[in-house]
Structure 1
Amino acid sequence: MPDLTAHHYGITVADLDRAVDFYTETFDLDVLDRFEVAGEAFSEAVAVDDATGSFAHLDAGDARVELVEYDPEGDVRTPGTVNQPGAKHLGLAVSDLDGFHGSLPEDVETLSEPRTTESGTRILFLRDPEGNLVEVVEA
């Protein structure tokens, strides 16, 4: 088997511009690229008839955060909690979790204050504007 490395962490969003603003402003991620993909091969690859994807790739260090807005949109799905089968979350690291938490805009929904787990790891979960869970861990 060939050597594998992480390339990107993908999140489907309903409003690409809003999501890009959130991740660039909240996490200070830089936009690496914005592009659209369409056509028969793309539609077949994602198994969505007549799909067009508007993408933004953001720099998250060793991998990219890929935000994608599809046309046509899929069924509306309510994001679940982290303990539900099939749940997903994006994990990002910061060096000062309390400082990061203190810098969050008031409208950013957090699940709790920063917490130290039994293993000694400091974590904070928040939701992006689409309701996706983002775990911020103190590196």
Structure 2
Amino acid sequence: MVVGPAHHYGVNVSDIERSIEFYRDVLGLELLREEKELSDHHEELLGVEGVEGTFAVLEGNGMKFELKSIDKPSNKSINAMRSPIDVGDDHFCWEVDDIDAKYEELTDKGVEFLGEPKSVGTVKSRVAYFYDPDGNVLELVEPE
């Protein structure tokens, strides 16, 4: 059995309003579901006792992003401790038609990139990596 198409990508964030502004206003995703309290069943779904927080859902080009901000129990950001080669969630990637133009547009909006767009011959593409407000790594790719 093969799994179906991707449904959504989940990102834990420290400040849901700031992240909504970034994903909506900077990256251009559409806000599908406004910030809302996590329901009681999230405690069972996440396997964490006493979990409280909020979530919102955005969409861009058919891919949904679920942003989740956990208020209780206390949590920490792992991004400051991890390297781009550590095991775990690495990045999410969007395809763009003109990576140089998108790089300039996002840089002008204050987005922090790891470097300028570069050609990667093994995947016949140009790529550029950048951070969201919590240090989650995102990528742009332009097929050559």
- TM, length-normalised to structure 2: 0.86
Aligned to 2:25, the other structure's residue is in SS state: helix
Give the total of aligned pairs. Answer: 138
Summarize deviations over 1:84-123 as a string: whole Å, max 9, x none: 1114211112111100011123632110001110132111
Summarize deviations over 1:9-53 as a string: whole Å, max 9, x none: 1110000011111111221111111222231x2102102221123
Q: 2:24 maps to which residue?
A: 24
* Structure 2: stretches of 5+ with no match in the other structure: none
Between stretches 50-59 and 129-138, larger displacement belongs to 50-59
Q: 1:112 maps to which residue?
A: 115
1:3 to 1:84, Cα distance in 2 relative to 1, 3 A = closer
- TM, length-normalised to structure 1: 0.88
Off by >4 Å, runs of 4+ in structure 1: none
- 1:1-139 to structure 2, matched below 5 A, reads 1=1, 4-34=4-34, 35-39=36-40, 41-72=41-72, 73-79=74-80, 80-104=82-106, 105=108, 107-119=110-122, 120-139=124-143
RMSD: 1.8
Cα contact 2:79–2:134 (8 A) shared by 1: no
* Structure 1: stretches of 5+ with no match in the other structure: none
Between stretches 126-135 and 116-125, larger displacement belongs to 116-125
Deviation (angstroms), 1:3: 5.1
